[in-house]
A and B are shown apart, each in its own frame.
Chain A
Amino acid sequence: MSEKHHLTRREFIRKSGNLVAAGSVMALLPTWAAAAAKPITVGFIYVGPRQDFGWNQAHWDAAKKIAKMDGVKVVEQENVPETAEVEKVMESMIQLDGAKVIFATSFGYWKHQLKLAKLHPDVLFVHIAALWKQGDPINTIGFRGYTEEPHYLCGMAAGRMTKTNKIGFLGSKPLYFIFNNCNGFVLGARSVNPAVTCNVVITGDWNNPVKEAETTNSLIDQGCDVIIANQDSSKVSIETAEKRGVYSCGYQTNVSSLAPNGFLTGAEWNWAAGGEFVKAWQTGGKYPNLLRGGFNKNMVALSPFGKAVPQSVRDEIMVAKQGFIDDSLKLYKGPLKDNEGNVILSQGEVIDNNDIKFKLGVRFLVEGAIGKTGLKK
């Protein structure tokens, strides 16, 4: 009671606080009621921190772009593990935030998303692994870009810029798309400089900064002077390469700021392509349940070139990029051997860039890669 006389300002703040609190509860109702009309709430769920210079940031880039679309409000939650928790997060986004589209941006969310999609036919669930198959709920989408294509372009830059003719690739897990990325990188490099070899190390972890730094250092010690890292975040590798004075290429998102001197270019996702699904859901338009594509469908991107890359190399790379766009350039074409000497494709054999069956089955490293997949044949 004694507060009454001299603490009016605090009282005021408290009252206004209550008002805001009440307002936030009231805010639920209009969102829910208006969801049928044009405005739409889109939820993004990240498995890690969204400022990781990697996988999650690539999705955050998309979230920021999608938030700028007409009538779209984005809510985001980071560090959501691939456990029962993610189901609750989705449910909570739907019930408490009124989300009508959910971007589930980690592999392990798929199973949980299928469960939720059956319960909420009015919500669109978008997943990043292109796992959708006939019989799965029609309000689910799987989409994914061919990052091996920008890796090919990174490889071209690496092949032109290397002085030792040795470049290095750090992989994370022994998974098909990591092998495709690695093959793209090696094929790109050898397309402009056949003398190049690429040392390949699979670290076994998505996120193990100590091992990434050690591996990067050891690759550089072996003479590699261009490094690319396929981790959750390539931050550690790129910073290590920059410190050691060698070139680096990025992965996932634009990480050029980490290496002002040695950054060449980078292989990026363009998850903002998912904005089309939001628009379709908002307007009742059509959307694909399964979408894969490379540069031709604007689902991947190339980071801006670093200052070290001369114009002639940039031009050459942009020509190849155009080749992917108009489908005149194929990633896998014969004659092609793996790095153990087995013939993968004979002369004249060409694998279509959209031949997903072939790409999913890639468990080899192409000739010129020095290293092992770690898998039994």
Chain B
Amino acid sequence: MRGVVFQNALEAVVINTAALLLTLVGFGIFVWMFGVDPFAVYRTLYLGAFETRISIETTLTQAAPLMLTALCTAIPARAGLLIIGGEGALVMGGLATVLVGVLLDGVPFALCVILLGLAGMMGGGLWIGAVGALRQYRGVNEIIATLLMNYIAIAVLNHLVSGPIRDFTRVVKAASWSIPEYMMVGTLPGIDVHWGLAVGVVACLLLYILMRRTTFGFAIDILGGNQRAAQMAGLPINQMVITACFIGGACAGLAGTMEVIAVHGFASDSLVVGFGYAGILIAFLARQNPFAVILVAILLGGIQASGGLLQRRFDLPDATTTVLQGMLFVVVLASNTLYGRFRFFQGKDG
């Protein structure tokens, strides 16, 4: 059994590495067509993403919110739902954090941070949990629902920050009231990356354990495999779908909390920068595995981090990074069909 696990892991590593290399070759040809030396580009990708301290800090800063928003898609996907509402859940989490934060003025720091985290999780969790309920009880398609709920969340944010909760002392940008300064959590010790990274890694690990080591996780996988079969087995599928959606939404909401308490201090349209959508990409590249989400988020964070240096060194447009991400997405998804095709990776007892 242990051998099978090892072989499965090895298969995933080999196939993903091959996919990554193929993507780099394709990207090399792409930049070569623009008259740029591919090898200089590879060099810059590495320099910008991983080589120096500032590169690594940039990469991790990029990756931090993406881990949490990726979970918003990954966890419900294990239960068989395609949720693309991470963007909206993040916004709702951020808004909830600000609203609770201004009420909590004076409450001790540690308690505050916990309550703000819970507020963000409730904001995002209820937002996506509602979609799970709509699907189970009213047959509403969850893809369309979450997509549209993103627009609703952004509209709610814009409405609130342009009037009802607007801080008019900020004259150049429509932003909400700020949470008290003492509630800001700042950066991790020893590295200039905000606390969202630690929260993201811990959330991924906890959910990995939940999904792999508990009966709940096992039941979710059964549900994702075949809802009918899960129902026949007597699983409470409605509650499970809603719970999976709630957990996913709570993670994205927590990303919103971290944006507020570690970066901005207030809610504004700076919460709507595409973290939710990038998370979908990561969830799929990680094949819905919460542990793999950590690694893929760092990889994509690295691509985004080095994208800036590509622009500056070679005067390539920002869209170049998007091309690289797109290529990676297509190649990795295509490579998913390779699993189980190589006899070498099939265990003797498998």
Chain B residues within 8 Å of A49, by CB: 317-318
Q: Which listed residue (A14, A91, A175, A206) contacts B57, Cβ 8 A?
A: A91
Which of B171, B268, B305, B313 is packed against the most chain A CB atoms within 10 Å? B171
B residues in contact with A176, CB < 8 Å: 171
Residues of B within 8 A of A376 (CB): 163
Using Cβ atoms and an 8 Å threshold, which residues of chain A touch B5? none
Kindly provide the distance from the CB of A31 to the nearest chain B CB, expressed in whole angstroms. 12
**Given A21-B40, A80-B308: A174 touches B318 (CB 8 Å cut-off):** no
Contacts of B58 in A (CB 8 A): 85, 88-89, 91-92
Per the bound structure, the CA–CA distance linking A176 and B52 in Å amounts to 43
Of all A-B residue pairs in the complex, the 3 with the closest CB atoms, nearest first, are A17-B39, A21-B43, A81-B273
Complex Cα spacing A89 to B174, Å? 24
Contact A93 to B312, CB < 8 A, known contacts A18-B39, A24-B43: yes
What is the minimal beta-carbon distance from B133 to any residue of chain A, in angstroms? 30
CB pair A78–B312 under 8 Å, yes or no, is no
Instruction: List A contacts of B264 (CB < 8 A).
Output: 83
Would you call A316 an interface residue if the criterion is a C-beta within 8 Å of the partner chain's C-beta atoms? Answer: no
B54 touches A96 (CB 8 A): yes
CA distance A237 to B264 in the complex (A): 32
A107 engages B162 (CB within 8 Å):
no
Residues of B within 8 A of A (CB): 37-40, 42-44, 47-48, 52, 54-55, 57-58, 61-62, 64, 158, 162-163, 171-174, 192, 194, 259, 262-264, 268-270, 273-274, 305, 308-309, 311-313, 315, 317-318
Q: How far is the CA of A129 from the CA of B172 in the complex (A)?
A: 7
> Quick one: closest B residue to A119, CB to CB?
B192
9 other A-B residue contacts (CB within 8 Å) besides A81-B274, A92-B309: A17-B39, A17-B40, A24-B40, A88-B61, A88-B62, A92-B54, A96-B54, A108-B268, A376-B163
A97 within 8 A of B: yes
Residue among A25, A82, A129 with max Cβ neighbours from chain B (10 Å)? A82
Cα(A323)–Cα(B338), bound, Å: 73
How distant is the Cα of A176 from the Cα of B55 in the complex, in angstroms?
38
Q: Is the CB of A173 within 8 A of B312?
A: no
Residues of B near A34 (CB, < 8 A) are none
Considering the chains assembled together, what is the distance between the CA atoms of A17 and B44 in angstroms? 12
A95 touches B318 (CB 8 A): no
In the complex, what residues of A have CB within 8 A of residue B173's CB?
Answer: 107-108, 175
Chain A: residues with Cβ within 8 Å of the partner, total of 46
Query: What is the bound-complex CA distance between A53 and B192, given in angstroms?
Result: 36
- In the assembled complex, which residues on chain A have CB atoms less than 8 Å from the CB atom of B273? 81-83
Q: Which residue of A76, A96, A173 is within 8 Å of B174 (Cβ)?
A: A173
Residue of A nearest to B268 (CB): A108
- Once A14-B39, A95-B52, A175-B174 are accepted as A-B contacts, the answer to whether A77 and B62 lie under 8 Å apart by CB is no
Task: Say yes or no: A79 contacts B318, CB within 8 Å.
Answer: yes
Chain A residues near B305 (CB, 8 Å)? 88, 92
- Asked if residues A25 and B43 are in contact (CB atoms below 8 Å), the reply is yes
Q: Please give, as numbers and ranges, the residues of chain A lying within 8 Å of B37 by CB-CB distance.
A: 16-17, 20-21
Q: How far is the CB of A88 from chain B (nearest CB, A)?
A: 4
The verdict on A11 contacting chain B, using a C-beta distance below 8 Å, is: no
CB distance from A268 to the nearest CB of B (A): 19
Any B CB within 8 A of the CB of A375: yes
Q: How far is the CA of A24 from the CA of B310 in the complex (A)?
A: 12
Task: For B305, give the chain A residue with the smallest CB separation.
Answer: A88
Is there a chain B Cβ closer than 8 Å to A360's Cβ? yes
Among A20, A81, A87, A206, contact of B40 (Cβ-Cβ < 8 Å): A20
Inter-chain contacts of A174 with B (CB < 8 A): 162, 174
Chain B residues whose CB sits within 8 angstroms of the CB of A79 once the complex forms = 318
CB neighbours of A131 from chain B (8 A):
172
Whole-angstrom CA separation of A107 from B170 in the bound complex: 10
A24-B43, A96-B48, A174-B174 as given contacts; A85 in contact with B61, CB under 8 Å: yes
A37 within 8 Å of B (CB atoms) = no
Shortest Cβ gap from A173 to chain B (Å): 5
Complex CA–CA separation, A205 to B317 (angstroms): 25
* Separation of A109 and B290 alpha carbons in the complex (Å): 33
Chain A residues contacting B42 (CB-CB under 8 Å) are 21
Distance A177 CA – B70 CA, assembled complex (angstroms): 38
A119 to chain B, nearest CB (A): 9
Instruction: Assess the A175–B172 pair: CB atoms within 8 A.
Output: yes
Q: What is the CB-to-nearest-CB distance from A75 to chain B, in angstroms, rounded to a whole number?
A: 4
CB distance from B132 to the nearest CB of A (A): 29
Can you name 16 A-B residue pairings with CB atoms under 8 Å?
A20-B39, A20-B40, A21-B37, A21-B39, A25-B43, A76-B312, A76-B315, A77-B318, A78-B311, A78-B317, A83-B264, A84-B194, A88-B54, A91-B57, A129-B172, A175-B174
Which residues of chain A from 121 to 143 have a CB within 8 Å of any chain B CB? 129, 131
Given contacts A92-B54, A95-B54, A205-B158, A375 and B163 within 8 Å (CB-CB) = yes
Chain A residues whose CB sits within 8 angstroms of the CB of B269 once the complex forms: 206
A204 adjacent to chain B (CB < 8 Å): yes
> Which of A20, A75, A76, A88 is packed against the most chain B CB atoms within 10 Å?
A88
How far is the CB of A39 from the nearest CB of chain B, in Å?
16
Closest Cβ of chain B: how far from A377's Cβ, in Å? 12
A374 at the interface (CB under 8 A from B): yes
A96 lies within 8 A of B171 (CB): no
Min CB distance B283 to A, Å, is: 21
**Inter-subunit contact B162/A374 (CB<8 Å):** yes
Mark A233-276 against chain B: 1 for CB-CB distance below 8 A, else 0.
00000000000000000000000000000000000000000000
In the complex, A173 Cα to B166 Cα: how many Å? 12
Report Cα–Cα, A336/B172, bound state, in Å. 25
B171 to chain A: which residues have CB within 8 Å? Answer: 175-176, 360
